[in-house]
Chains A and B, each alone.
Chain A
């Protein structure tokens, strides 16, 4: 029970961040015509900020189901890497049930908690963290959908950038450690700007197209050494 409480305590800043970001995601969802319960359900089941953002835009654009699968693959492909890394951090004897649950809740923030632990990941500690932060995520999305259209415009405007603030907090620190990432990020800004202004491609297609092109470019000019996380 103590380990559960520790996890819960460590998840307080994550939960607050989730709430603000989910709220802004809710505003995007409501623009796509999604109801509060549907947004709540999506956040409960999908647990992905970037992925849900891209998905809501795709829904707004009436994307096909195949296109939705592609969008989820591209915007969440990083979890393949994290899942690999996590498999090295858990007790080989850990039961399949724990693996299935931890996999379901594999997000950038939970992954950070898992990697920060000494030795093997303690599932009870993680369940404590999840039990606080994940409801914040789902409830925040629903409230964003409900209240996003009632709030004054300048407050909506302010909240709608929360998601991008969170994205920056993830990719900018990585630029400091790796100059190639800096180069790729700058290239992404320029290409994304040009594509959004000078082509009629949808936002979700631009994301897929540019991610595959620019990440491949990075892998070609600067392939990684064998040892990395």
Chain B
């Protein structure tokens, strides 16, 4: 088993270096086109990979997750913003879980 506080230390140092090094040291733009493009696409790909199918595995009934996922996609597409999208997804799942519990 690994020590939780060592994990936290490793996370803190790694993430801090990522955030602070460019801000304090490097003033030039990245020249390499492939690297720049790669860095540009990374956040969206990471978030997408982590969202699906994890979201439909997170709920009691997978259908609640699927419907919340679809509603979340639509709400995000309509630029409702972080807070409203988040609340909408949660409320959808809550309602669906009630519904499934009633059907049973």
Q: Do A and B bind each other?
A: yes
Interface, chain A (partner B; CB < 8 A): 13-14, 16-17, 20-21, 34-35, 38, 41-42, 45-48, 50-55, 59, 62-65, 68-69, 72-84, 86-87, 90, 96, 99-100, 102-104, 106, 109, 153-155, 157-162, 164-176, 180-181, 184-185, 188-189, 191-193, 196-197, 203, 206-207, 210-211, 214-216, 218-220, 222-224, 226, 228
In the bound complex, residues from chain B placing their C-beta under 8 Å from that of A51 are 11, 15
For B35, the closest partner residue in chain A by CB is A219
In the bound complex, residues from chain A placing their C-beta under 8 Å from that of B55 are 161, 164
Interface flag for B103 (CB, 8 Å): no
Interface residues of B in 1-41 (CB under 8 A from A): 1-2, 4-8, 10-12, 14-16, 18-24, 26-27, 29-30, 33-41
- Tally chain B residues at the interface, Cβ within 8 Å: 77
Q: Which 4 A-B pairs have the closest CB atoms?
A: A103-B20, A172-B76, A78-B43, A165-B89
Further pairs besides A75-B46, A79-B18, A169-B75: 17, Cβ < 8 Å: A45-B8, A55-B7, A73-B18, A76-B19, A77-B18, A78-B46, A83-B19, A153-B60, A161-B90, A164-B58, A171-B47, A189-B52, A207-B46, A210-B45, A218-B37, A219-B41, A224-B37
Is the beta-carbon distance between A34 and B4 smaller than 8 angstroms? yes
Is the beta-carbon distance between B83 and A161 smaller than 8 angstroms? no
Is the beta-carbon distance between A155 and B94 smaller than 8 angstroms? yes
Interface, chain B (partner A; CB < 8 A): 1-2, 4-8, 10-12, 14-16, 18-24, 26-27, 29-30, 33-55, 57-60, 64-65, 68-69, 72-73, 75-77, 79-83, 85-91, 93-94, 97-98, 101
Which of A20, A170, A216 interacts with B38 by CB under 8 Å? A216
In the bound complex, residues from chain B placing their C-beta under 8 Å from that of A78 are 39, 42-43, 46
**A96 and B18 in contact (CB under 8 A), knowing A16-B83, A38-B8, A164-B72?**
no
Q: How many A-B residue pairs have CB under 8 A?
A: 294
| A100 to B17 CA separation, bound complex (whole angstroms) | 10
Closest chain-B Cβ to A79's Cβ sits at a distance in Å of: 5
In the bound complex, residues from chain B placing their C-beta under 8 Å from that of A50 are 46-47, 50
> B-side binding surface: helix, strand, loop or mixed?
helix
| A165 to B38 CA separation, bound complex (whole angstroms) | 24
Is the beta-carbon distance between B49 and A62 smaller than 8 angstroms? no
Closest chain-B Cβ to A64's Cβ sits at a distance in Å of: 7
Closest chain-B Cβ to A62's Cβ sits at a distance in Å of: 6
In the bound complex, residues from chain B placing their C-beta under 8 Å from that of A173 are 76-77, 79
A-B contact pairs, 27 of them (CB 8 A): A17-B82, A20-B83, A38-B4, A45-B12, A46-B8, A50-B47, A51-B11, A62-B2, A69-B14, A74-B46, A77-B43, A83-B21, A84-B26, A87-B26, A103-B19, A104-B20, A154-B101, A157-B60, A165-B89, A168-B75, A169-B85, A184-B48, A206-B49, A222-B37, A226-B33, A228-B36, A228-B40
